[in-house]
Amino acid sequence: MFEKFEILIIIIIILLAFYFVITLGAGKGKDPSSATKIARYLFGVRILIAIIAIVSLILWLFL
């Protein structure tokens, strides 16, 4: 199995891949009103990834 440090690296890679895929999928809209919706959506994605990262780090530290 993986060591603790390798698990942390894998979690970071998965979270970064998740963020980049969603960012590329959201794209840049030509409509100015969609730009604010995309920005709001990506802010929510960043918050979600931060929460997942914090929970993962806490679990990683205690297990």
Q: What is the pLDDT of residues 2-40, one digit of tens each?
A: 788 898 899 999 999 999 998 888 876 667 777 888 888
pLDDT at 29: 63
pLDDT at 17: 95
Contact 29/35 with Cβ under 8 angstroms? yes
Average pLDDT estimate for 37-59: 91
Residue with tokens 């809209």: 29
pLDDT at 15: 94
Angstrom distances, CA of residue 18 to CA of 9, 15, 30, 33, 61: 14, 5, 24, 25, 22
pLDDT at 5: 87
